[in-house]
Structure formats: C-alpha cells, structure tokens
Amino acid sequence: MSAPSDPATAASQAPAPAAASAAASSSSGLTFKLHPLVIVNVSDHHTRVKAQAACSGDSSSSSGAAAGQPPRVFGCVIGVQRGRTVEIFNSFELVLDPVSGTLDRAFLEKKQELYKKVFPDFYVLGWYSTGSDVQDTDMQIHKALMDVNESPVYLLLNPAINLSQKDLPVTIYESELHVIDGSPQLIFVRSNYTIETVEAERISVDHVAHLKPSDGGSAATQLAAHLTGIHSAIKMLNSRVRVIHQYLVSMQKGDIPVDNSLLRQVSSLVRRLPAMESQKFQDDFLMEYNDTLLMTYLAMFTNCSSTMNELVEKINTSYERPATRRGGRGAFM
C-alpha cells in the first residue's frame, strides 16, 4: 500500500541509480502495521504549519523548505514491537533548528517522558516527515535518532494530491548498510505495511469520511455554508441600516415630511445598541467573550472525553480476551 517513490538516499550524496534499484525493498523481514491515527496526526501537522506559513506570508518553514514548496514537518512515531511485527500506534511533533537542522533534544526527551506516563508500553520506533521523496538531509535526522532507537523507521507522507493514485501516499523506510562504490553507506530501503485499526479508530475514520461533501468536493463544506449564511445575514442588515440612514438624511434635508412615529421607532432601536465607543465596554466585552469561548471549549472537551470513555469501556468489555496477543492494544485503549 506504500506510495511509489525513490527508496534510497545517502547521508552525504544521492546514491547511484544502480544502488537505488538494488535496494528497492527491505530485506529485514519485519512486518509493519500502521494505525490511521498516525496518518491523521501527520496530515494535521502539515496542514497547520502550511496554514501558519501562508498567514505569515512565509512559504518556508523551520525545516528549510524551498520557496514555493509546501513546508516540511517532522515528528516521532511511537508504538510497540513484538518479535518481527512492528505496530505504529501514535505520533508526536518534533522541533527542528532552522539554521543547523538539528533536533531539539530537550523537547524530544520531554515528549518521551510524557508519553511514557500515559502509554508505558510504547517506544519511539522512528520518525516521520512530509514530501514527495526522500531528501539528502533526512539521513542526518535519521542518524540523530539512532541513540533513541538503534534501527528507527522513517515514515514519509506525500501531501501532494494525485487523483489517479489509489494507494495511500504513505511510504515506510528502513535503513540498511550497503556497499556503494567500494565504501559502506547507510541508505533508505522501502518496506511494505498494512493498515491496522481498532474499533474506536474505525468509528472516527467513518465519522470524518461522512464530513466530506457528497458531490466530490465541488460544493461548500458545512463550515463554509455556515459562514456564507452569516455573511448573507450581515449583508442584509447592512442594506437595511443604509435604507434607514438615507431616510433620516432625506427627512433632515426636508425632502420628505417628518414622521414622528417613525422617528420614535428609530430612536428606540438605536438606544438598544450598547455604547461601543467606551474603552471600558471594549475591555468588559472582550473579557466576557473570551470567558464564554473558554467555557464552550471546556464543555466540548468534557463531552467528547465522556463519550470516548463510554465507547472505550464498551469496546474493552466486548473484546476482552486473555492478555497475550492483545496486551499492547489494551495499553493503547
């Protein structure tokens, strides 16, 4: 299910085509199982960084992406390894120095410590990045993570949209030592993988799939439709306020007779509006607005956590078995 791409790259220079062809697939014999949560995390990471770069007017990210190219993101993948089977459950982001291209060790160690408290059975299996192909600098990051895992895996997500491609744009690489031009070099080799899901992930993926527009993406999404409705309402309100303003101006100039009953209605409407010119009103309004948003977010998180806990309890009760094979998955739940 991996996307086709050049599977080999050297640490200091691109390998010769013959070497790349010889190392097209891994010979380690490992079986990789990838969970959808990892793909969602990497995609979300890339989307956020790309949106932030677009808002700041800077097309390059901390990873040193070229101008006009989407920014690259980096992170670690975590999971468990049982014998020859490697199962990737989750991921977290990494901080990369934009000048030297080195990893922030303090941030990585802190993340490892936090994940160990929640998922004690999970270990750092490797790292991830985005791009259409392996870069020369990727081997430097790969070697830097070898003190955490002596044989890390590299997950590459291609964010470019290819409508003709049926497989997932995800490739998993391992590193192997090959003799190239008479000298040993560490290169990337592509490995096969399968998608492994648990019940909670299947429900989440199904929910996300139903949010996609039914006509293939040409129609506005639910959020766009909601914002369009708000825009139309504001536009209508603005046009009606303009009509009232023009009427009052014409009445003041004497173009139309004075209607005291209508003036009383306009005066009553204007008095309902708050005195928005006051600085105290602005401060109080922003404070109350922020408090309301915070309470809304907390209520949403609490509701989601409660729903998820109930779902996990039901799934654990339904799929509870003697602990051997399902040990790692139980820790994930």
Q: pLDDT tens digits, residue range 31-74?
A: 899 998 899 889 989 988 888 887 776 544 444 455 556 688 99
What is the pTM assigned to this prediction? 0.54
Give residue 208's pLDDT: 66
pLDDT over threshold 80, residue 287: yes
Give residue 127's pLDDT: 92
| CA 308 – CA 302 distance, rounded (Å) | 10
| Pairing of β 123-130 and β 153-157 | parallel
> By the 8 A CB rule, do 67 and 59 touch?
yes
| Pairing of β 74-82 and β 193-195 | unpaired
Give residue 275's pLDDT: 57
Closest CA to 9 of 137, 157, 116, 114: 137
The two structure tokens encoding residue 319: 């799929």
Give residue 298's pLDDT: 86
Give residue 172's pLDDT: 92
> By the 8 A CB rule, do 329 and 88 touch?
no
Helices then strands, each counted (H, E), the chain: 9, 8
Residue 325 CB neighbour total at 10 angstroms = 9
> By the 8 A CB rule, do 119 and 141 touch?
no
Tell which CATH architecture fits domain 31-52+70-196. Answer: 3-Layer(aba) Sandwich (3.40)
Give residue 79's pLDDT: 92
SS3 170: strand
| CA 240 – CA 228 distance, rounded (Å) | 19
Which amino acid appears at position 130 of this protein?
Answer: T
> By the 8 A CB rule, do 34 and 195 touch?
yes
pLDDT over threshold 70, residue 19: no
